[in-house]
């Protein structure tokens, strides 16, 4: 377990370095930190997702199914086989990921967890295929659990909730969140492109509160270059 945890820590440090350099051009062709498979509410099989990631030339990604790491585990196993059969090929870095429902300022938000140790007991309540209730549903508890498992916590699509991102981001920062999904396409444009005004506001708040900027397509359909 110590060895695994050490590897998770190294992986988390690499991810922090990546997050420090994410900008509006990073998604969807260099990095993608928000996508779903058939293991939650997406349409892509994990293998098809990874095949697309390789074809696109992604440098790194995370599969963020809702309350399950089944898609991530299947993708990881397939990617390891592919690496073995394609020696010398450039392959993307796959971090662990999951999307978790949580209560923040009395509304439901989604928190993305990255590069956590999947077997860590702190994550167990959040990997049961459904949202938790009670104290485990509170944002501060979710964030603390992610940190205990060696991971990073990010507020997904901050400008898509019943309360303004101008309120939610400071509240999330106060509870220990590591980053915000700054570059996000709110109106499902084709081709995928981050919404400029929201991204600008979120990026400014991230700077004020010392948070990482991340990006993701939030893919639920069959293309990693689109949301739906």
> Chunked in runs of 10, what are the mean pLDDT values of the chain (228 residues)?
58 96 98 98 98 97 98 97 94 97 98 97 98 97 98 98 98 98 96 97 98 98 96
Q: What is the pLDDT of residue 4?
A: 55
Q: What is the pLDDT of residue 2?
A: 41
Q: What is the pLDDT of residue 111?
A: 99
Q: What is the pLDDT of residue 7?
A: 67
Q: What is the pLDDT of residue 9?
A: 75
Q: What is the pLDDT of residue 40?
A: 98
- Which uninterrupted H or E stretch holds 180? strand 179-183
Nearest Cα to 104, choosing from 184, 35, 160, 42? 160
Q: What is the pLDDT of residue 10?
A: 83
Q: What is the pLDDT of residue 1?
A: 37
Residue pair 146/169 in contact by the 8 Å Cβ criterion: no
Q: What region, left, alpha or beta, does residue 161 occupy, with left being phi > 0 and alpha being psi -120 to 50 degrees?
A: beta
DSSP letters, 72-101, are HHHHHHHHHHHHHHSTT----EEE-EEEEE
> What length is written for the chain?
228
């Amino acid at each position: 377990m110590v060895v695994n945890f050490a590897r998770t820590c190294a992986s988390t440090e690499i991810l922090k370095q990546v997050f420090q350099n994410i900008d509006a051009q990073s998604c969807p062709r260099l990095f993608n930190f928000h996508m779903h498979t058939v293991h939650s509410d997406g349409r892509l099989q994990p293998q098809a997702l990874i095949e697309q990631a390789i074809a696109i030339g992604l440098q790194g990604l995370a599969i963020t199914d809702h309350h399950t790491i089944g898609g991530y585990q299947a993708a990881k196993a397939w990617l390891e086989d592919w690496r073995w059969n394609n020696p010398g090929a450039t392959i993307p870095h796959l971090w662990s990921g999951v999307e978790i429902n949580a209560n923040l300022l009395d509304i439901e938000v989604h928190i993305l967890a990255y590069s956590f140790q999947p077997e860590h007991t702190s994550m167990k309540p959040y990997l049961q295929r459904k949202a938790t209730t009670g104290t485990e549903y509170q944002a501060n508890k979710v964030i603390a659990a992610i940190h205990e498992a060696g991971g990073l916590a990010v507020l997904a699509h901050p400008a898509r909730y019943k309360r303004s991102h101008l309120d939610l981001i400071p509240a999330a920062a106060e509870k220990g969140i590591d980053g915000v999904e700054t570059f996000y396409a709110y109106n499902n444009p084709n081709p995928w492109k981050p919404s400029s005004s929201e991204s600008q506001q979120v990026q400014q708040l991230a700077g004020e509160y010392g948070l990482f900027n991340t990006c993701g397509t939030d893919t639920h359909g069959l293309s990693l270059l689109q949301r739906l």
